[in-house]
Amino acid sequence: MPRTDRTTVPAHTPRFSWRHAALAAHLIGAVGMAQAQSLAELYQAAQGYDAAYLAARSQFDANLAKAEQAKAGLRPQAGLAADASWSNRDVLQGGSNTTSNAQTITLSASQPLYRPANSASAQQGELSVELAKAQLETAEQDLIVRVTQAYFDVLAAQDSLASVQALKAAVTQQLAAAKRRFEVGSATIIDTREAQAQFDRVSAQEIAADNDLRIKKLALDQLVGKNGVAPLGLGKNAALPSPAPADVNSWVSQATEQHPAVRQANTALAVAQLETQKAQAGEKPTVDLFGRYAMGRSPSTTLPGAYLRANTATVGVQFNMPLYTGGATQNRIKETLALEDKARNDIEAAKRTVAQATRTAYFGILSGLGQVKALEAAETSSQSAVDANKLGYDVGAGTSIDVLNAQSQLFQVKRDLAQARYNVLITHLRLKQASGALKADDLQTVNRLLAK
């Protein structure tokens, strides 16, 4: 019988072993294990490299310096001034010509006694420190989640590639078996064609999975500032954490009280209220204590050619009372009152946003844990389906395509199960982020679940 099939695999290959395919998949995920890094290690690397986080730290330092500037309005001010002048007097009729020079040095100082606008500005400076802390905390939490997401994206891409490669190995075995059966006349060309089509399809999937893994690794490398990062995989029997407390309302209550976004909104309202006080201070008087000491040298007006020296000390209190500002002060007060209302609405919007994010993350964990259990059961049943179809194929009661379909389903379930586990861990961190409780120490919980 002439051969009409085409294949790119050897004609004689060993019988497919499920254990061998599983071992191959495990080895793909364990590449570079000796140099692998944990999640906590990569987060520490990202802290010293990520541009967005470093920019947030610089902004935090700038806000601290700005807060100190606001306090200057309540502190004494001192200054030193000096001037020198030269003059030439030429009398045309008398023919006389005289020159003279004068010098003055003045030391002055002032101390605000009553300046309500400056007092409000100083309080705003103190609040800006709290605002800076909340902003930096937001940046830290965002970096934790971004690193974790990129970390598990790489693991998921590795699992996907391992799944496709293991399936390709199984297809290769079935293709070789179908080819041998066709050659001896115990099977039709249909089995060979179907196995070849499956092989070509899986080869295309392997190329796409390999490219996806490369892209995910580049993204993680760029985030942490390292080349060739190899994240540790998740332990085989890792026990996934459940949300504690197991009450969504407790999480929501915590979020609306301590989330950095809510704290920023509360601080913004306090700053807006102080801004109103500053605007109202435009209608109030100001009182300053001042002092000056001047030393001068100037020509005498009564004795030609003589110079006089004078030392003058002055101490006093200066009172200032605005009477009319053209309506600027009154309209400024209206503006700040409107901004206060905006700040109150911003608080409510922030609380609603974090409450929704908290509920979404909480129920996402519960859903993810349910998916993990369901997929674990599906893995067991899919394995049984593979064994049954292989047995049927061996005794002639089934086709190779039945075996390949069962194997494809099994590998897909394994891949989905791994992804579901990763999603639970990521969502667990997102729940803490949504509630405002996420800290770098929380990464240790995930680290303990990684392969040793």
Angle at CA 86, nearest 5°, toward 81 and 92? 155
Per-residue confidence in pLDDT tens, the chain, 452 aa: 344 444 443 333 334 343 444 444 444 444 444 478 889 999 999 999 999 999 999 999 998 998 888 888 899 999 999 998 887 766 666 556 667 788 899 999 999 999 999 999 999 999 999 999 999 999 999 999 999 999 999 999 999 999 899 888 888 887 887 788 777 776 678 778 887 888 898 899 999 999 999 999 999 999 999 998 999 998 877 889 899 899 999 999 999 999 999 999 999 999 999 999 999 999 999 999 999 999 988 876 666 667 788 899 999 999 999 998 889 999 999 999 999 999 999 999 999 999 999 999 999 999 999 999 999 999 999 899 888 888 887 777 766 677 778 888 888 899 999 999 999 999 999 999 999 999 999 999 898 998 87
Global pTM? 0.80
| Rounded distance between C-alpha atoms, residue 206 and residue 163, angstroms | 9
Which residues, other chains included, contact 443 with Cβ-Cβ below 8 Å and sequence gap of 6+?
39, 40, 43, 144, 148
- How is residue 236 annotated by DSSP? T
Residue 124, token pair as written in the block: 């705003």
List all residues 6 or more positions away from 273 whose beta carbon is below 8 Å from its beta carbon. Answer: 340
Strand 307-320 relative to strand 77-90: parallel, antiparallel, unpaired? unpaired
Structural domains in the chain, sorted by start: 18-75+115-284+322-447 (1.20.1600.10), 76-114+285-321 (2.20.200)
Q: Hey, what are 412's tokens?
A: 């897909």
Q: Under 8 Å CB-to-CB from 421, ≥6 apart: which residues?
A: 234, 238, 240, 372
- 114: buried, middle or exposed (CB in 10 Å: 19+, 13-18, 0-12)? middle
